[in-house]
Amino acid sequence: MHNTLGTVFQLTTYGASHGQAIGGIVTGCPAGIELDLEFIQKELDRRKPGQSKITTQRKEADEVLFLSGIFEGKTTGTPIAFQIENTNTRSKDYSHIKTVFRPSHADFTYQKKYGIRDYRGGGRSSARETANWVVAGAIAKQIISKMTINAFTSSVGSIFIDKPYQALDFSKTESNIVRCPDSDTAGKMIARIEEIKKQGDTVGGTVTCVIKNVPVGLGEPVFNKLHAALGQAMLSINAVKGFEYGSGFCGAKMTGSAHNDLFNADGTTKSNLSGGIQGGISNGMDIYFRVAFKPVATLMQEQETIDEAGNIVKMQGKGRHDPCVVPRAVVIVESLAAMVMADFSLLNKLTKI
Amino acid sequence: MHNTLGTVFQLTTYGASHGQAIGGIVTGCPAGIELDLEFIQKELDRRKPGQSKITTQRKEADEVLFLSGIFEGKTTGTPIAFQIENTNTRSKDYSHIKTVFRPSHADFTYQKKYGIRDYRGGGRSSARETANWVVAGAIAKQIISKMTINAFTSSVGSIFIDKPYQALDFSKTESNIVRCPDSDTAGKMIARIEEIKKQGDTVGGTVTCVIKNVPVGLGEPVFNKLHAALGQAMLSINAVKGFEYGSGFCGAKMTGSAHNDLFNADGTTKSNLSGGIQGGISNGMDIYFRVAFKPVATLMQEQETIDEAGNIVKMQGKGRHDPCVVPRAVVIVESLAAMVMADFSLLNKLTKI
Amino acid sequence: MHNTLGTVFQLTTYGASHGQAIGGIVTGCPAGIELDLEFIQKELDRRKPGQSKITTQRKEADEVLFLSGIFEGKTTGTPIAFQIENTNTRSKDYSHIKTVFRPSHADFTYQKKYGIRDYRGGGRSSARETANWVVAGAIAKQIISKMTINAFTSSVGSIFIDKPYQALDFSKTESNIVRCPDSDTAGKMIARIEEIKKQGDTVGGTVTCVIKNVPVGLGEPVFNKLHAALGQAMLSINAVKGFEYGSGFCGAKMTGSAHNDLFNADGTTKSNLSGGIQGGISNGMDIYFRVAFKPVATLMQEQETIDEAGNIVKMQGKGRHDPCVVPRAVVIVESLAAMVMADFSLLNKLTKI
Amino acid sequence: MHNTLGTVFQLTTYGASHGQAIGGIVTGCPAGIELDLEFIQKELDRRKPGQSKITTQRKEADEVLFLSGIFEGKTTGTPIAFQIENTNTRSKDYSHIKTVFRPSHADFTYQKKYGIRDYRGGGRSSARETANWVVAGAIAKQIISKMTINAFTSSVGSIFIDKPYQALDFSKTESNIVRCPDSDTAGKMIARIEEIKKQGDTVGGTVTCVIKNVPVGLGEPVFNKLHAALGQAMLSINAVKGFEYGSGFCGAKMTGSAHNDLFNADGTTKSNLSGGIQGGISNGMDIYFRVAFKPVATLMQEQETIDEAGNIVKMQGKGRHDPCVVPRAVVIVESLAAMVMADFSLLNKLTKI
């Protein structure tokens, strides 16, 4: 029950970063959808390591193979299983952490919880898992093809885009390696990441996501509110520390008279500080939210930590790691958002007879 | 499925603010627990309206009645049903909104989604629902009695506590009507709310929650991470716009070398910027998180809005409403946190044979 | 999770036979359905004790009270809570079993599992719970009003209806107290039950259920097959020992050439030994199935049994009990069938976009 | 949600008989269990086609490959993914049914429900799916290694074992190709199947399953009773038409004085007509139940049927099919029983703190 996301459109996943493969099963995908498999692979390519000088140099082919659920190009309504081989695993890169707990990683908690862990590359706790989500998200995008989902890097460290999302041209997001649609800010972000990388350090950032053309009525009160489901999904991403939608934490500083989102005669609203959701249900306006990522915990600097016996030991990151996870996270955020929106689109068919 | 919170310790609720009653069924509560029913009522009293000059003057008895699941003072392992009568409902206060959509409320979205709505007091979308959560939370607290859960008002509008939580004395939270353990800040917050109230306006704020004495190992990767479940629960509260834990959004600005939460020899960590959770699993350190509440949408000022026919109409809040929801939300945050922690405590019994 | 039936149309229940009330919450009922509440009460009256000389003389008012989810006569899409007071509980009738385990009852297993039990009237294990199911079933019937669901007593002890169901007139089921649509057989059944009752003994029987006007396509392979869901529901009824559909156990003796259910040109089938379901999905033909009930375990004869200390003791049924449960079970079988069919009707909306 | 069995120990499956592979993901398997992978393969070999002259001559390698969840021979508490390649698919054997609906198969219902179907070998509706269940069942058996689960062929057509199960020696079940522990009856069954096969016909039968060494307390009232879960699982097997446990349908003919299962002083019972379960909870006695299988629908005789256009056409089974499914079903019944028992063993850890 813990390895499944969604209520109707469901993804159940498996896999550790250094096992034979990762993969998943998508159930609840409606029958008769013509799936563009090339698009799914392209989405996966957006996530894969080694794309640019600011991401890990680890090369993973990340080719997705579908095993079921598609017949003559269309979904059959039966489970869609897929798998991605782990081809370029350098497990020996991890032998130094076999008995060592890396700071701010899940080594310690997995070991204590389960009494056993696959220490290679973080095992099940590795962000490699998110490749599975991108596959399912790329399927979900094809179910809700009328909506558009655009995520982008909105900050790296202290460098923020200082414009509202409405002023951005999302077609430029993929035009630079940091996936920031504002080219000036993108330049500064890239410079910052390169600087951080040189220091063997890492840096955090935020991803903002905007969903347009959302029909009114998606969301299921009271414990399956649309924004709560989006939040739960985003908080599942490795390294995420916060989620806000609409006015978010800023809204908590405002007065009601400034914050209230007044109606136009046609039912649209004026400020959309609501973030497209009222009472947990979409109101037809743009949904937008922001996700906070902490800096990657693996440093190319020496750090002190402990081993299983409780000895203080020194360690330094080996392997190939991202100095900033945010650019690659953009497609992950979009994918989870697509899964949630597809799920709630289907759920809403149950509202009336 | 949308009116249930939790996986093992589950609460399923019903009720609208102006129906006959609200209530719920708690399933999955272990057998043999001696329940302190008086404590449950006291928790409910912390939430109820009319407690002070800065909350709504609406008086609700909010007496909880248990109908099943308890025998000779102990839980029997069967469903615990409870109900709270709606005694002081002034439904005529709401006749003016029968065909009007209040701004930043759920009137519009419920009507569009369901084609029908109980307009009195917001119906199912009313925060009255949270009384149910307090009952279940007060049961949950008795399951995990070794943990302590302390929430408090950490900001009202722009007035923030400027100390880390470690410097606060939680025994003082209940000593003032705004439920802020720092008395100086509390005074400023109360003054601010009174000022806002005079203007017929409202103001937002944040609640911070700290959970101590958490065992290592609670949390279920990958889609039921402890912080994701906490986030999902908190985002279910009416008016919540954001959730962050540990370093939160600030963490996104930091470098890895500053952010990493280094181990002590005994497995505790030095900074706890992790917020007591690593890889979705508790590490034994304090769990702390922050929840952002928007300002209450019902104003005692005239606002423009629309009716069902799309006419622009003027309206002004009637009834009895809170100028700031945060003080009463403190116990709601604690209750949901308790439910999540009880649920994950039980779930963790399944980890090993 | 164990007190809930259904996937979309869900009933969650609570209550013990001698607590204050029993009741439940129906979630997932679509919005906008005009509910006939009088019909629901009438269904409940079909189940209630004291209806005739062959049922228990215990009188229970069994009046259902609705607390939420219905507004101006229509469902709102929010949870429908209901409750039935326990008005005529003679708990002292049960003081003799406080420390005694009745044979073929759940006293022993509840005590061993939970370490505590409400011994009065069987507590949670009492068939009183089924009153909740009748309420939910009567709601479900109004969702799937185009289907007709007819259950009836098909055997009592060794007395069987010796006609196929197609030869029966279901309008006569309610014309006699044993609820057998064949009046000759009904007479024999009643005589047999009266005889058994005089002996202080009880007798088992079977209920057959026929569902007509079922659309093609209901049922969700592979672990939510329509007949598996019907079977799971029926096996939840107190005293049920077996379930078969279509050709059932007889089918196991047949050859394929005799058993195969050949098609007519219009897609209907010739023999319907399939029982209206093929591969777990309805094929549009009548669904029919049979449910086996053991004899009631409470006898008005002396029996040997044991107490909690392991002493052999003698006991005799007190209170007011049915000599044969089957006539009152007819409406329970129908109700569960209705819940399952309503649930799968809704689920089938998710099959295609 | 429809492709998953179990609540805690869960199997989610995928695959069609002529796709690239079938497989599944087991979640909720506790950490730290040393898995005997050879045993799993042996169980799979018991199910595979081509074992004897009375089963299909189709040869399938049915080699299971594990992809995750096992590290250094032990379960890690993370999802166990496995897959079985479809190596010997003769899809052209099925080209004759591309547009034809086979009688008593799922072709018609899948086509009508989904609007599309993989017609080759029945696609998702193929019993090939049950190979997945055997893998998961063989894992489950290792979780509940103290229980013993023995299923066997108890009837073929009208040939029944005429002894109670207590008189049988289960160590002989595998000593003959029909998997009947009574060698005389086995001989008659085999002769009957050979005769039927010569006629191009098929025959039904029953499988009985006995579970010993069950602890008291497994089972979750009221909608997750142990026997209801066993029934739901068994009714998921292709071709199953009925399920009964303990006294079953015979019990419906009995009187209470004959049927009641009196206690011995030690809490064991005398007749065990209860079938090891009282009130949905195991009482520590043997659990036994019987499952009815209809005759295989694919005949090597000419039959009339219809095509998608509604034309009457003649068809005859091609490919390689079983004349009687029961001998191969024995291991499937055991596997599902093991999954249910493992699931409920884990669930029972949640009963008390």
Closest CA to C242 of D240, D310, A345, B223: D240
The answer to whether A228 contacts B235, with C-beta atoms less than 8 Å apart, is yes
Quick one: CA torsion of C101, C103, C104, C108, rounded to 10 degrees?
A: 20
The answer to whether C305 contacts D262, with C-beta atoms less than 8 Å apart, is yes
Q: Is the pLDDT of residue A87 over 90?
A: no
Among B341-350, C159-168, D63-72, D119-128, the range scoring the smallest mean pLDDT is: D119-128
- The answer for residues whose C-beta is within 8 angstroms of residue B252's C-beta and 6 or more apart is A155, A157, A204, A205, A206, A241, A242, A292, A293, A294
Residue in D25, D108, D109, D214 to test binding to C, most C beta-carbons within 10 Å: D109
Residue of A nearest to B293 (CA): A252
Among A44-53, D33-42, D322-331, the range scoring the smallest mean pLDDT is: A44-53
Q: What percent of chain C has pLDDT over 90?
A: 89
Which of A14, A71, A77 is closest, CB to CB, to D79? A14
Structure confidence by residue, pLDDT tens digits, B136-147: 999 999 999 999
pLDDT at C344: 98
d(CA C330, CA C151): 6
Find the helix or strand (DSSP H, E) in which C307 lies.
Answer: strand C302-307
Which of C316 and B232 is assigned the larger pLDDT? B232
- Share the mean pLDDT of chain B: 95
pLDDT at C89: 64
Q: What is the DSSP letter of B262?
A: P
Structure confidence by residue, pLDDT tens digits, A201-259: 999 999 999 999 999 999 999 999 999 999 999 999 999 999 999 999 999 999 999 99
Taking the whole predicted model, whether its pTM rises above 0.95 is answered as yes
Query: Rounded mean pLDDT of D307-333?
Result: 91
Which of B349, B352, B353 is closest, CB to CB, to D350? B349
CA-CA-CA-CA torsion sign (C236, C238, C240, C244): negative
Q: Is the pLDDT of residue D58 over 90?
A: no
Burial A224-249 (b: 16+ CB within 10 A, else e): bbbbbbbbbbbbbbbbbbbbbbbbbb
d(CA C298, CA C101): 12
For residue A222, whether the previous peptide bond is cis, meaning omega lies within 30 degrees of 0, is yes
- Share the mean pLDDT of chain A: 95
The answer to whether C236 contacts D223, with C-beta atoms less than 8 Å apart, is yes
Structure confidence by residue, pLDDT tens digits, A296-341: 999 999 999 999 999 999 998 776 788 999 999 999 999 999 999 9
> What is the amino acid identity at position A247?
S
Contacts of C33 in chain A (CB under 8 A): 353
Q: Is the pLDDT of residue A60 over 90?
A: no
The answer to whether C113 contacts D216, with C-beta atoms less than 8 Å apart, is yes
Contacts of D28 in chain B (CB under 8 A): 350
Identify the residue whose tokens are 């952002």: B292
d(CA D217, CA D232): 20
pLDDT at D316: 84
Pairing of strands C148-156, C80-85: unpaired
Query: Rounded mean pLDDT of B291-306?
Result: 95
pLDDT at A93: 67
Structure confidence by residue, pLDDT tens digits, D80-112: 999 999 986 666 667 778 899 999 999 999 999
Beta bridge partners of B255: A203
Burial C332-342 (b: 16+ CB within 10 A, else e): bbbbbbbbbbb
Q: What is the DSSP letter of C2?
A: -
pLDDT at B95: 77
Find the helix or strand (DSSP H, E) in which B221 lies.
Answer: none
d(CA B332, CA A198): 47
pLDDT at B61: 81
Q: Is the pLDDT of residue B220 over 70?
A: yes
Pure H helices in chain B: 37-47, 107-114, 130-143, 183-198, 226-234, 248-251, 256-259, 326-347
- CB-hemisphere CA count at 13 Å for A224? 23
> What is the amino acid identity at position B331?
V
Closest CA to C23 of C106, C130, C123: C130
> D33 to chain B, minimum CA–CA distance in Å?
8
Structure confidence by residue, pLDDT tens digits, B31-41: 999 999 999 99
pLDDT at C56: 72
Residue in B294, B299, B326 to test binding to A, most A beta-carbons within 10 Å: B294
Beta bridge partners of B282: B277
Show the CA angle centred on residue B224, arms to residues C220 and D64, nearest 5°: 55
Q: Is the pLDDT of residue C91 over 70?
A: no
Which of D24, D83, D114 is closest, CB to CB, to A31? D114
Among A253-267, B56-70, D20-34, D299-313, the range scoring the smallest mean pLDDT is: B56-70
Predicted confidence band at D166 (pLDDT cuts at 50, 70, 90)?
very high
The answer to whether C299 contacts D231, with C-beta atoms less than 8 Å apart, is no
> B175 to chain A, minimum CA–CA distance in Å?
23
Structure tokens at C348: 């089938």
Which of C16, C74, C123 is closest, CB to CB, to B116? C74
Q: At what angle do helices B226-234 and A226-234 cross, to 10 degrees?
A: 160
Predicted confidence band at B319 (pLDDT cuts at 50, 70, 90)?
low
Query: Rounded mean pLDDT of B99-121?
Result: 95
Which of B14, B31, B76 is closest, CB to CB, to C79? B14
Provide DSSP, B53-111: TTS--------EEE-SSEETTEE-SS-EEEEEE--S--GGGGGGGTTEE-TTSSHHHHH
> D7 to chain A, minimum CA–CA distance in Å?
8
- CB-hemisphere CA count at 13 Å for A255? 16
d(CA C194, CA C200): 10
> C120 to chain D, minimum CA–CA distance in Å?
15
Q: Are C110 and C124 in contact (CB under 8 A)?
A: yes
> C339 to chain A, minimum CA–CA distance in Å?
15
The answer to whether A114 contacts D31, with C-beta atoms less than 8 Å apart, is yes
Q: Is the pLDDT of residue C316 over 90?
A: no
Query: Rounded mean pLDDT of D127-140?
Result: 97
Predicted confidence band at C12 (pLDDT cuts at 50, 70, 90)?
very high
The answer to whether C281 contacts D206, with C-beta atoms less than 8 Å apart, is no
Q: Is the pLDDT of residue A90 over 70?
A: no
Query: Rounded mean pLDDT of D116-125?
Result: 92
Query: Rounded mean pLDDT of D236-259?
Result: 98
Find the helix or strand (DSSP H, E) in which D183 lies.
Answer: helix D183-198
Cα radius of gyration rounded to whole Å, chain A: 21
Query: Rounded mean pLDDT of B252-272?
Result: 97
d(CA A63, CA A72): 20
Q: What is the DSSP letter of D352?
A: B
Query: Rounded mean pLDDT of D122-148?
Result: 97
Q: At what angle do helices A326-347 and A37-47 cross, to 10 degrees?
A: 140
The answer to whether C299 contacts D236, with C-beta atoms less than 8 Å apart, is no
> C116 to chain B, minimum CA–CA distance in Å?
6
Show the CA angle centred on residue A37, arms to residues A31 and A39, nearest 5°: 115
Q: What percent of chain B has pLDDT over 70?
A: 97
Q: Is the pLDDT of residue A88 over 90?
A: no
The answer to whether A351 contacts C78, with C-beta atoms less than 8 Å apart, is no
Predicted confidence band at B56 (pLDDT cuts at 50, 70, 90)?
confident
3-class state of residue A141 by DSSP:
helix
Which of A15, A19, A25 is closest, CB to CB, to D14? A25
For residue D222, whether the previous peptide bond is cis, meaning omega lies within 30 degrees of 0, is yes
pLDDT at B91: 64
The answer to whether C349 contacts A352, with C-beta atoms less than 8 Å apart, is no
d(CA B20, CA B146): 37
The ipTM assigned to this model is 0.97
Structure tokens at B313: 């109409």
Structure tokens at A17: 């970063």
- The answer for residues whose C-beta is within 8 angstroms of residue A145's C-beta and 6 or more apart is none
Q: Are C180 and C162 in contact (CB under 8 A)?
A: no
Q: What percent of chain A has pLDDT over 70?
A: 97
Structure confidence by residue, pLDDT tens digits, C260-281: 999 999 999 999 999 999 999 9
Q: Is the pLDDT of residue A124 over 90?
A: yes
Structure confidence by residue, pLDDT tens digits, A158-214: 999 999 999 999 999 999 999 999 999 999 999 999 999 999 999 999 999 999 999
The answer to whether C274 contacts D104, with C-beta atoms less than 8 Å apart, is yes
Q: Is the pLDDT of residue D241 over 90?
A: yes
Start-to-end CA span in chain A (Å): 29
Contacts of D155 in chain C (CB under 8 A): 252-253
